[in-house]
Amino acid sequence: MAATPAVRALEKAGVAHTLHPYDPEHPGDQGHGEAAVAALGADPRQVFKTLVTRVDGTLTVAVVPVSGTLDLKALAAAAGGRKAAMADPADAERTTGYVLGGISPLGQRKALPTVVDDSALGFATVMVSAGRRGLQVELPPADLVRLTRARTAPIGR
């Protein structure tokens, strides 16, 4: 399995991590994050989805549990802005270098401001996309926050 930019970033930083491949082909009516949870038998509070948004026009990454939704007002406040909205999917893919359903907060083409939901800090490890559909990476939340230079805040509902 070829390493993605996210996996290479973790290896370069010397961060202990575990890859969890799964079959992404049949998400059905559920989203990509929910499909990962189902395929891996993981706790949906411990698996995080990566959402690309715009806060006052600036592309910003939000990392929230698959079990919940993103609170756009809370994200705007955490990012020091006034208004947040979901980014255009084409902008998200072009800027991060990843495809929808496989966007990782790690190893993005252009490092974007990132906010991780503070619930991540309650787990020894969390899972995020490893940079392609069908591949999650498990790592300590402190390493995720450090490598993405993220702020943590209660941005999930």
Q: How many domains are contained in the chain?
A: 1
* pLDDT per residue rounded down to tens, the chain (157 residues): 568 999 999 999 999 999 999 887 765 556 778 888 888 888 989 999 999 999 999 999 999 999 999 999 999 999 999 999 999 999 999 999 999 989 999 999 999 999 999 999 999 999 999 999 899 999 999 999 999 999 999 999 9
DSSP string computed for the chain: -PPPHHHHHHHHHT---EEEE---S--TTS-HHHHHHHHHT--TTTBEEEEEEEETTEEEEEEEETTS-B-HHHHHHHTT-S-EEEPPHHHHHHHHSS-TT---SSS-SS---EEEEGGGGGSS-EEEEEEETTEEEEE-HHHHHHHHT-EEE--B-
Task: Domain of residue 73: give its range.
Answer: 5-153
CATH code assigned at 100? 3.90.960.10
Please give the model's pTM, rounded to 2 decimal places: 0.93
